[in-house]
């Protein structure tokens, strides 16, 4: 095996020595992210005495939205201790100590997350830290070594973050590929969603590639243009732009049992169809790609004014002074409603189910300059911050949404800790709508936290709903859409100028509208029958060398970042291609029993989670009522299971 991994993020330069004075450092530390601070300094300096028991975060508080787990006294003491450590580091020439041994790293990690039993996370942590510029997730083989004379070409569908990750790794492994993208640029969801206020709800220091980390994110939660630019920067930095065919849509992919290859039919910018031959196809089209229009509402399509979906925002429609209806109050609407409310004449927000709000005071804040300085001058601090978010919003969050069979929460919570979350968020809602009991009641969910996505809020959603020109139409439902507006359940016609659909995506219709035919001419969509399943979200029996990224059961609700799943999935796919090439085969086909057993386990586990157990509308369940979207296990398990394929789980063809 050769290690052909690249050398790390192109967006991180050399760390400069610290020259700041003590007073400057003291001032800088006022803006530090505290949870990763002492762990990062202990790792950097080798001084484990920094991990004082009295300065460990409170584990229960850490599990609560909006809390850093510390008291004010602890915060002051952490800053003082950090100052002393930074002064010593500076005075010693800003030279990092040798990397600590595994026992010490484990101690640091367990301190950071205020937990125990973290040993299985050690190798994962090392990868996530990408410490000192290492990229440990790169392919461990190169095609020139494995199968130099075997032609092998991959068609990747989609140039969103998943497609770019696939292209980068294929390129590193020396495998020929082309990325086919239906729009005119890279970025996927960050290209499509341009609605006002669109931004990521997972901190960017975690929501980014491990191999393309940045220390200079302008925001904790960057707006869409920043993320779109990030995708463009990655595509350019990794030399992928020339490998992408833009404005080209995949119409079908058909497997040949004779040739053991796929024929991929695409339609290019000029409308002409063309056939590409591929040894493997990677679908990187995502789950949240096709808008879900509320076509079941009688009269849908009859409205005579402008009407558009949040993911197809129509900039040519001037909303100023208009009477605008918004249907839906999910993650998208809760971002764009506060933006358009001050602009429109009147805003009618049609809510079917309220969302739980996770208080996030810094949601719209730029990363303070001092904090950026720390990321850029304290080696490892940004990476420990990344790991802390990864844990806290990942496996550390799972306990809060697991069903406790002994707990009777009356349908409103699934466990004692879930009940605590519910109470904290209910108190936040009550506080935000103080003086408006009508809104407080309408916006308080009656389902357990984690049954639907918890939406971050820094007060802007409640403030928007409280405006004089905004009216929340709650619960009663929509009877019809008419040429002039929307008829509510009580028969009132609300006449409006514009309708915006914040109605989400056809998430369970994986890989639509492409036609996909596998072995023996089986049609994938008939095979699935609206109930998409795959092994580890990646492979489907009977569809050799068809690999999905962000496929069935790889979404997360409260825990983690999709970018992480994409990276893990890409590594697994590279492993499968390596398995085929290394064994002289042409293709791999997952065994049906392996796939079925995995899916049964997935279903059992999803039923044990808030989103599976609760009876509430959500895009997490398909039309059969099965959770086909979400990964119910730990992030660690996805990483472990996608490190490398188990050869016995696959039939080799050719």
Determine if 472 is a binding residue for ligand NAP (CB under 6 A): no
- 3 state DSSP class of 578: helix
How many Cβ atoms sit within 10 Å of the Cβ of residue 55?
Answer: 19
Quickly list H helices, 305-444: 333-340, 369-377, 381-392, 395-398, 416-432, 437-442
Minimum CB separation from ligand NAP for residue 507, in Å?
A: 7
In angstroms, give the least distance from the CB of 182 to ligand NAP.
19
End-to-end Cα separation, the chain, in angstroms: 24
- Look-up: residue for tokens 């739980």? 356
Nearer to ligand NAP, 197 or 582 (CB): 197
Strand partners, 472: 349
CA 156 to each of CA 249, 330, 617: distance values in angstroms, whole numbers, following the listed order: 11, 30, 33
Kindly tell me which of 335 and 642 has the beta carbon lying closer to ligand NAP: 335
Minimum gap (Å) between residue 502 Cβ and ligand NAP:
6
Identified binder of ligand NAP from the candidate list 478, 511, 548, 568, rule CB under 6 A: 478
DSSP bridge pairs for 309: 501
Identify the three-state secondary structure at position 288.
coil
CB of 200 to ligand NAP, least distance (A): 5
> Burial level of 199, CB count in 10 A (0-12/13-18/19+)?
buried
Show contacts with ligand NAP in window 346-385 (CB under 6 A): 352-353
Measure the CA–CA gap between 124 and 91, rounded to whole angstroms.
Answer: 33
Give the number of other CB atoms < 10 A from CB of residue 615. 9
Could you say which residues in the range 446-465 bind ligand NAP, by CB under 6 A? 453
Residue 21 or 617 with smaller CB distance to ligand NAP? 617
In contact, 559 and 454? CB cutoff 8 Å: no
Q: Is 270 exposed, middle or buried (0-12, 13-18, 19+ CB in 10 A)?
A: exposed
- H or E stretch covering 564: helix 562-582
Q: How far is CA 311 from the centre of its chain?
A: 17
- The minimum distance between CB 292 and ligand NAP, in angstroms, equals 6
Q: Which two tokens stand for residue 90?
A: 């500076």
Does position 442 bind ligand NAP by CB under 6 A?
no
Q: How far is the CB of 202 from ligand NAP (least distance, A)?
A: 6
Q: Which is nearer to ligand NAP, 178 or 288 (CB)?
A: 288
Q: How far apart are CA 588 and CA 73, in angstroms?
A: 58
Among the residue ranges 92-100, 329-337, 389-397, 433-441, the one whose residues contact ligand NAP (CB under 6 A): 329-337
Site string for ligand NAP, 607-636 (x = CB under 6 A): ----------x-x-----------------
Q: Is 328 in the site for ligand NAP (CB under 6 A)?
A: yes
Site string for ligand NAP, 485-524 (x = CB under 6 A): -----------------xxxx-------------------
Question: Which parts of 79-108 interact with ligand NAP (CB under 6 A)?
Answer: none
Which residue's Cβ lies closest to ligand NAP?
330
- CB neighbour list of residue 351: distance below 8 Å, 6 or more residues apart: 328, 329, 442, 472, 473, 474, 475
The answer to whether residue 561 forms part of the interface with ligand NAP (CB under 6 A) is no
User: Is position 337 an interface residue for ligand NAP (rule: CB under 6 A)?
Assistant: no
Report 380-409 residues binding ligand NAP (CB under 6 A).
none
Are 327 and 311 within 8 A, CB to CB?
no
Helices (H), 341-407: 369-377, 381-392, 395-398
Nearer to ligand NAP among residue 44 and residue 340 (C-beta): 340
Site size for ligand NAP (CB under 6 A): 26
Q: How many CB atoms lie within 10 A of CB 255?
A: 26
Residue 444 interacts with ligand NAP (CB under 6 A)?
Answer: no
- Closest approach, Cβ 79 to ligand NAP, in A, equals 31
Alpha-carbon span 622 to 534, nearest angstrom:
15
For ligand NAP, the binding residue among 332, 418, 599, 642 (CB under 6 A) is 332
The DSSP H or E segment spanning 347 is strand 346-351
Does residue 308 contact residue 188 with C-beta atoms inside 8 Å?
A: no
Query: 71 vs 617, which CB is nearer to ligand NAP?
Result: 617
d(CA 57, CA 65): 14
Q: How far is the CB of 54 from ligand NAP (least distance, A)?
A: 36
Structure tokens that stand for 307 in this block: 């009407």
Q: How far is the CB of 161 from ligand NAP (least distance, A)?
A: 12
* Footprint of ligand NAP on 170-199 (CB under 6 A): 199
Identify whether the C-beta of residue 574 lies closer than 8 Å to the C-beta of residue 170.
yes
- If one asks whether residue 536 binds ligand NAP (CB under 6 A), the answer comes out as no
Nearer of residues 227 and 276 to ligand NAP, judged by Cβ: 227
Pick from 5, 59, 260, 297 the residue near ligand NAP by CB under 6 A. Answer: 297
Binding mask 253-292 for ligand NAP (x = CB under 6 A): -----------------------------------x----
Give, as ranges, the residues between 305 and 324 that touch ligand NAP (CB under 6 A): 310
Binding status of residue 114 toward ligand NAP by CB under 6 A: no
Q: Is 77 in the site for ligand NAP (CB under 6 A)?
A: no
Q: Which is nearer to ligand NAP, 172 or 351 (CB)?
A: 351
List helix spans (H) across 12-152: 22-29, 37-45, 59-62, 72-91, 102-113, 122-129, 143-146
Nearer to ligand NAP, 162 or 310 (CB): 310
Q: Which residues bind ligand NAP (CB under 6 A)?
A: 199-201, 288, 294, 296-297, 310, 327-333, 335, 352-353, 453, 478, 502-505, 617, 619
């Amino acid at each position: 095996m050769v290690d052909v991994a690249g050398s790390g993020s192109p967006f991180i330069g050399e760390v400069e020595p610290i020259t700041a004075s003590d007073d400057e450092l003291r001032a800088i530390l006022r803006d530090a992210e505290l949870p990763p601070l002492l762990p990062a300094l202990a790792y950097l300096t080798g001084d484990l005495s920094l991990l004082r028991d009295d300065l460990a975060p409170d584990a229960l508080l850490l599990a609560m939205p909006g809390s850093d787990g510390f008291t004010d006294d602890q915060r002051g003491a952490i800053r003082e201790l950090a100052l002393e450590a930074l002064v010593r580091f500076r005075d010693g020439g800003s030279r990092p100590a040798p990397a600590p041994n595994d026992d010490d790293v484990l101690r640091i990690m367990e301190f950071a997350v205020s937990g125990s039993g973290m040993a299985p996370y050690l190798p994962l942590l090392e990868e996530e830290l990408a410490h000192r510029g290492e990229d440990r997730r790169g392919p461990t083989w190169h095609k020139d070594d494995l199968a130099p004379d075997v032609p092998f070409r991959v068609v990747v569908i989609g140039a969103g973050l998943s497609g770019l990750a696939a292209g980068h790794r294929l390129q590193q492994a020396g495998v020929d590929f082309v990325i086919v993208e239906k729009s005119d640029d890279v970025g996927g969801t960050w290209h499509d969603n341009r609605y006002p206020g669109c931004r990521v709800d997972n901190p960017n220091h975690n929501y980014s590639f491990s191999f393309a980390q940045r220390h200079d994110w302008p925001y904790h939660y960057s707006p869409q243009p920043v993320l779109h630019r990030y995708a463009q920067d990655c595509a350019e930095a990794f030399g992928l732009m020339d490998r992408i065919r833009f404005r080209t849509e995949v119409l079908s992919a058909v497997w040949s049992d004779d040739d053991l290859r796929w024929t991929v039919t695409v339609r290019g910018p000029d409308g002409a169809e063309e056939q590409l031959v591929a040894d493997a196809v990677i679908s990187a089209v995502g789950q949240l790609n096709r808008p879900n229009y509320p076509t079941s509402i009688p009269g849908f399509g009859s409205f005579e004014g402008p009407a558009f979906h949040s993911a197809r925002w129509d900039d040519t429609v001037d909303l100023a002074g208009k009477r605008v209806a918004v249907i839906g109050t999910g993650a998208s609407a809760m971002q764009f409603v506060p933006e358009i409310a001050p602009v429109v004449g009147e805003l009618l927000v049609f809510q079917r189910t309220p969302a739980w709000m996770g208080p996030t005071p810094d949601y719209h804040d730029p990363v303070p300059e001092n904090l950026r300085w720390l990321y850029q001058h304290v080696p490892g601090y940004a990476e420990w911050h990344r790991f802390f978010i990864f844990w806290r919003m990942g496996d550390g969050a799972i306990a809060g949404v697991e069903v406790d069979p002994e707990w009777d929460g009356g349908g409103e919570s699934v466990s004692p800790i879930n009940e605590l979350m519910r109470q904290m968020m209910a108190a936040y809602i009550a506080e935000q709508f103080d003086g408006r009991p009508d809104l407080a009641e309408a916006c308080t969910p009656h389902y357990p936290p984690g049954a639907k996505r918890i939406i971050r809020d820094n007060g802007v959603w409640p403030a928007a709903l409280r405006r004089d020109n905004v009216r929340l139409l709650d619960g009663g439902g929509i009877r019809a859409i008419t040429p002039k507006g929307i008829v509510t359940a009580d028969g009132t016609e609300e006449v409006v100028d514009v309708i915006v659909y914040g109605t989400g995506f056809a998430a369970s219709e994986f890989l639509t509208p492409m036609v996909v035919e596998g072995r023996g001419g089986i049609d994938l969509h008939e095979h699935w029958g609206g109930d998409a399943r795959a092994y580890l979200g990646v492979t489907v029996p009977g569809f050799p060398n068809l690999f999905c990224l962000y496929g069935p059961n790889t979404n997360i609700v409260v825990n983690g970042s999709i970018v992480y799943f994409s990276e893990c999935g890409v590594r697994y796919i590279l492993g499968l291609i390596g398995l085929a090439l290394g064994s002289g085969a042409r293709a791999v086909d997952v065994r049906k029993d392996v796939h079925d057993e995995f899916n049964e386990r997935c279903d059992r586990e999803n039923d044990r989670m808030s989103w599976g157990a609760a009876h509430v509308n959500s895009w997490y369940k398909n039309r059969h009522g099965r959770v086909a979207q979400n990964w119910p296990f730990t992030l660690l398990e996805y990483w472990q299971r996608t490190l490398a394929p188990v050869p016995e789980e696959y039939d080799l063809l050719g």
